[in-house]
Structure 1
């Protein structure tokens, strides 16, 4: 007898022993078994026996596994229908909720029974049952989307928005938003917005955040109505108990004022930044910090929102990157946008000493350095020095990341000595004889090869010699570098360019892959253009940049 068959036999043997230790063990095994692949038909009988149990924990387990069993054996729902319908009328709200939630997940019995079951549950005297029914409507929609519309449940859900229980209200709003997503979500009228605004104080923070988001779907038409709404919302801008409430209230304020009263933006920022800083500070709940970081990332193109945090860069230094890497990386993504001429030295010092040297944050920290260079002109040289210093790290992972970062580092405007220094440093760190030469080398040679005229022609010669070893991207970059260097130093680079052209045009004709043919055609184009008009080639290469 197999393990599943043995479990079925044991469950049938002890299914009436509601409080036995053996039954508790078997129920745990049942939950694990139905989650694994394989034939579980033999468990249908035991689960049917467990469903009518008067023990809430036993019934809870039976209902939790029933949808999984029915997904593999749809006829099981018909066998369980009478018990489920009976439990949907049970005086115990816990039992009623269990049955109702499962019922809404079984499409084979929904068509016939959904109407009376859901209508009764939506009128139930227990708010938990009503909320389960509202959520159940969302599940029914997934299985039978037309049923809710045909039987008038959309109007019933709109009526539930006026329920006395805040949980029922928010669940109704969310369910309608899902069901009506193709039409733009739940429709918020003037009366509904006014009603929700009057009830704001009834909602706990998580539900209040949802209500604020929904209210944003309505736009006041009159000035008096607008300022009345802003007046009601005002206290929630600085509600320190919930980040989601504050952030959603900020978004709503901005939406309401951006067209007719944009001058209020600076006042909003001034009021809320201290509260947002509290949510970012040490000891704040993780969810609150995450919510604020997501908001600031959304606003990162608006410096008015980020600059007020420039006096507190420590709030964006990742603390628990070993246990919460996602949060740490969000902070690193924001650091460039709070970086200013007054704090960039502190920020770069922290990046260099810690985050650029840790494998988990290395890539993102160096990207941060690169962005700071572009955003804060005075920080450019310091950023470059950070990368040069990191290239001396004994950790090869760190050095490799520096080379990748330098591909996107804009050296325009830097002094020749600084550029010369970084190129020579790179040449000291790489092996030109291998196939995995970093992409940054041909990029820098093409742009600044003339600054190390004593070395660059020989480096290009090495790249030309090993051209066949490289991947498609490296070959394309090397061709471009050779063309640019030839235009600047024709006598010293003509031979290497010729060798690369030869390999692109003739040697690659034997390879009919699409990428190779593309490189061949590109080389041919430049070959003919060089013969016809050198200045046109220079213009084309400049445009590509």
Structure 2
């Protein structure tokens, strides 16, 4: 009966979404003011319906708030929902509801108490926050578990708004106490809130003890499925005391592997994998490992999206512990109706699980896949056959046979992929399968893809002495040398030189022709360089040429898509998260995420174990706080509002009367870590055609901005301006190209853009925010960090363009928030590829030790992290931020007579300028 009644009710509510009458807002206002309770409730429903479909109903804010004083829970929920949506746009009016919130937080009905606390937490208005603390404190100690669980989540929301307030009020400790609450739902929400705070704040606030561990394990069997996920994720971060405790936890977690929710299953798998290394009894470890296989296999019977996520996680598990699924390879065989993304992942896992025992059935499957209709899947399948041959030496013969059968099909893309993988097999097993070459050479005419051409050319050059007409085969490709891709040209050059070294009497003209085309007719620097190297080798020392070109090649292995051990361990600990799907650490794709320093951070510090911070270095650490991920902001300079004209980047003088820091000579003038802002008159009224400008740099909260004062001495009001910056050392650019004043500046009036921003909707920031744009970086050697920044402003009223320079000090650009703790520094250092590292050695700097280097760098907002001794050398580590956006990591090795500088940043265009900046500071 109740179900049918609710169905009828739901059907009647749908009418609220179909109102499109004119003058509807006025009618709604009248209905909201109606004394009839039902009519008022229907009016609020109409407002919510309009809000849901995207209509702006903020003009009814006061009328809706007046409906908040009601005993009807349904109406109160609707009003609270409206408040959550529009509170940010009407912060002053939202204060009118505070008394109702406080009153409802003491209501006898626990549903209303919880609703009031939840709504106050969702309203992200700073003025509301101060009224939330007392009701929240009562709610956290409430007798009703529903109120307590709601309040626990509210603490995490409050932490996101004002972290300091949560810590000062002691809410974190209350949350930790709630982990031992008798109600499992409250425990789960407390754990969820602590996890959220850990992710937001970058420090582990969970602090699982032996006592709380038992409470978590007890709550695990009784709380909701999503509560179980949060508890399991927390357990995965816990360090058991020994193998016995780890074994006990695994026993308690194992039943979760049979859960219907795949998220619970994957979180349980993560816990078990995290603890398996601690179990010393191999038989017990084997038993637990065997229990992981069935739930993972079961996930592959879900819908394709869940299959894909499961397969990405299984890929990690198989790399870490291949024996878990070694007998389950058949479940990864592709079905005809699998989506392509699922097929690709299954194929990758098949290759990881293939062994001498199952290679026959795998090859039969792969052969079938190679005859499918999806071209990309067919290519990957053919390549998988080659990878199986490289991985399993005993199966190489069978793999070659299958590849030859596929070549016989004469399907063009199959043939081309087969040639590519056979080349890799030749490299893995040299001088073993030369009988195949004849079959490959029969199909030369059909090869049209660069990679396939390069592969067959490599084979011809490598085995030229065993191919009767190798010169003719290469000559066939040389006819179109200029039209080939760079990879094919490089292979042709090398193969021809190999052929000449093996058959010098008949191929001299050919090699001369190829060398001439490579060195004289080509624009490709790689091809030219290789051509000159070969020419010089052949002309001066043919024996050396043979040793270089025909030398023994290293054995290759199949490491496609294989992760580094350290990254693999990190990702296995992140199973059931996005990191395990992307196969990237969280900080690589979540820019707000700060790496969490937990109880295991010290163990992960590796080389940092030896570091000892010195007193002098501690004194020089002027900044605070951990840094976020290295980011690169583009500046919005796509709008070409100005023409910089003949303004030269080398000019060191200001157009105005500002003076300051020329372009050449000494690098910087001494400055404090956060120099006080000094405004210079950079443009007189005469130079600015009636517009007088004063400007100075502000660096507040790590954000660089340009503060400007305008005085209008012209005949017309000043309404808006457009600004553009010339190329500079770090590529500074305005985050917004236009300056819109809140009100026109009349002739004879003045305005500060700092004040303008504080009254406009742009936020109470400090003037024109600056971003980093690689496109605006000056060419190497064309500018210095201390050079004035050259600007152009266009008066959009008169059309006048004014040029001026703003004096710059390097301490303006380097932020005061660039210091990291050791664990955070280490995680960032590992996340940045070695290939992005730049190095140099300074031999002309005055003799200094680490203390002197640290003191000199600290004066420029480059912060000391740690140091260690390496024999006669001292190694120190530093970090700094450019314009509050670009994080740079620094390693300096001080030895007698020289200083080695190593810079790492994932914003590659800035690596060299950052290195040059450090070198100049050390030389100054």
Asked if TM exceeds 0.5, the reply is yes
Alignment of 1:132-211 (within 5 A): 132-181=150-199, 182-184=202-204, 186-211=206-231
Measure, in 2, the Cα distance between the counterparts of 1:62 and 1:365. 58
Q: How far apart in 2 are the matches of 1:11 and 1:538?
A: 90
For 1:543 and 1:68, locate their aligned partners in 2 and report how far apart those are by CA, in whole Å.
70
**Higher alpha-carbon deviation: 411-420 or 90-99:** 90-99
Shift in CA distance, 240/216, structure 1 to aligned 2, threshold 3 Å: closer
Deviation digits for residues 485-532 of structure 1, max 9, x if unmatched? 443444555444433432332234xx5xxxx33442333233222323
Find 2:458's aligned residue among 446, 456, 470.
446
Alignment of 1:380-399 (within 5 A): 380-390=396-406
Q: How far apart, in 1, do the equivalents of 2:77 and 2:234 lie?
A: 33
- 1:176 to 1:8, Cα distance in 2 relative to 1, 3 A: same
CA distance in 2, matches of 1:335, 1:63: 53
Verify the 8 A CA contact 2:187 2:219 in the aligned structure 1: no
**CA–CA separation in structure 2 for the residues paired with 1:361 and 1:203:** 43
Which of residues 330, 344, 354 is equivalent to 2:345?
330
Query: What is the match of residue 536 of structure 2?
Result: 528
Verify the 8 A CA contact 1:205 1:245 in the aligned structure 2: yes
C-alpha separation in 2, matches of 1:400 and 1:56: 70
Note closer, same or farther for the CA distance 1:204–1:540 as it changes in structure 2 (3 Å cut). farther
Question: By how many angstroms is 1:7 displaced?
Answer: 6.4
Matched, 1:268 2:282: no
Change (3 A) 1:246 1:483: same
How far off is 1:367 after superposition?
4.4
The 8 Å contact of residues 356 and 392 in structure 2, kept in 1 or not, is answered as yes
Q: Is the 8 A contact 1:107 1:140 kept in 2?
A: no
TM-score normalised over the length of structure 1: 0.77
Q: Which residue of 2 aligns with 1:113?
A: 131
In the TM superposition, what whole-angstrom CA distance separates every residue of 1:287-315 from its partner, at most 9, and x where no partner exists? Answer: 88667645532232356524632xx4331
More helix by share: 1
Partner of 2:247: 230
Note closer, same or farther for the CA distance 1:408–1:149 as it changes in structure 2 (3 Å cut). Answer: farther
Contact preservation (8 Å) 1:486, 1:497: yes
Where relative contact order (Cα < 8 A, 6+ residues apart) is larger, the structure is 2
1:107-130 CA-to-partner distances (Å, cap 9, x unmatched) read: 433542232243233233443443
Report the CA distance between 1:97 and its aligned residue. 5.1
Aligned with residue 391 of structure 2, among 342, 355, 375: 375
* 1:341 equivalent in structure 2: 356
Which of 437, 443, 446 lines up with 1:429 in the alignment? 446
> For residues 70-90 of structure 1, what are the alpha-carbon distances to aligned partners after superposition, in whole Å with 9 as ceiling and x for unaligned?
556666655665565555556
Contact 2:153–2:189 (Cα < 8 Å) also in 1 = yes
Question: Quick check: 2:292–2:324 contact (8 Å CA) kept in 1?
Answer: no
Which structure 2 residue ranges, 5 or more long, are not aligned?
Answer: 1-19, 555-924
* Residue correspondence of structure 1 range 345-364 to structure 2 within 5 A: 345-354=360-369, 357-359=372-374, 361-364=377-380
What's the offset of the Cα at 1:161?
0.8
Q: Is the Cα–Cα contact under 8 Å of residues 407 and 439 in structure 1 kept in the other structure?
A: no
Q: 1:350–1:63: structure 2 CA closer, same or farther, 3 Å change rule?
A: farther
Distance 2:78 2:425 in 1: 58
Distance (Å, rounded) in 2 between the aligned partners of 1:58 and 1:524 = 83
Residue 271 of structure 1 and its aligned partner are, at CA, apart by 4.0
TM-score (norm 2): 0.48
CA distance in 2, matches of 1:495, 1:6: 90
Equivalent-residue separation in structure 2 for 1:479 and 1:400 (angstroms): 21
Residues 439 and 367 (structure 1), Cα distance of their counterparts in 2 relative to 1, 3 Å cut: closer
CA distance in 2 between counterparts of 1:388 and 1:279 reads: 37
Alpha-carbon shift at residue 405 of structure 1 (Å)? 5.9
Secondary structure of the 2:450 match is coil
Range with greater deviation from structure 2 (195-204 or 399-408): 399-408
Distance in 1 (CA, whole Å) between partners of 2:409 and 2:544 is: 43
Q: In the TM superposition, what is the alpha-carbon distance from 1:158 to its structure 2 partner?
A: 0.8
The match for 1:32 is 53
CA contact (8 A) 1:464 1:496 kept: no
The alpha-carbon deviation at position 8 of structure 1 amounts to 4.5
Structure 2 distance, partners of 1:141, 1:441, is 60
Report deviation, 1:31: 1.9
- Equivalent-residue separation in structure 1 for 2:111 and 2:412 (angstroms): 59
Rounded to whole Å, the distance in 2 between the matches of 1:246 and 1:119 is: 35
Structure 1 residues 19 and 294: alpha-carbon distance in aligned structure 2, compared to 1, 3 A threshold: same
CA offset at residue 482 of structure 1?
3.6
Q: 1:479 aligns with which of 493, 499, 514?
A: 493
Which residue of the partner structure matches residue 305 of structure 1?
A: 323
Change (3 A) 1:209 1:374: farther
What corresponds to 2:777 in structure 1? none
Give 3-state SS (helix, strand or coil) of 1:337's partner.
helix
Aligned to 1:37: none
Distance 2:275 2:392 in 1: 33
Is the Cα contact below 8 Å between 2:322 and 2:353 reproduced in 1? no
- Where structure 1 has 5 or more consecutive residues not aligned to the other structure, the ranges are 35-39, 432-436
Tell me which moved more, 265-274 or 333-342: 265-274
Tell me the CA shift for residue 231 of structure 1: 3.7
Cα distance in 1 for residues equivalent to 2:168 and 2:453? 66
For 1:196, what is the secondary structure of its paired residue? helix
CA separation of 1:268/1:478 partners in 2, compared to 1, >3 Å: closer, same or farther?
farther
Q: Per-residue deviation at 1:166?
A: 2.3
- The aligned residue for residue 434 of structure 1 is none
Question: Mean alpha-carbon deviation: is it higher for 292-301 or for 160-169?
Answer: 292-301
In the TM superposition, 1:231-246 aligns within 5 A as 231=248, 233-234=250-251, 236-237=253-254, 241-242=258-259
Residue 442 of structure 1 deviates from its aligned partner by 1.8
1:418 Cα deviation from its structure 2 partner: 2.5
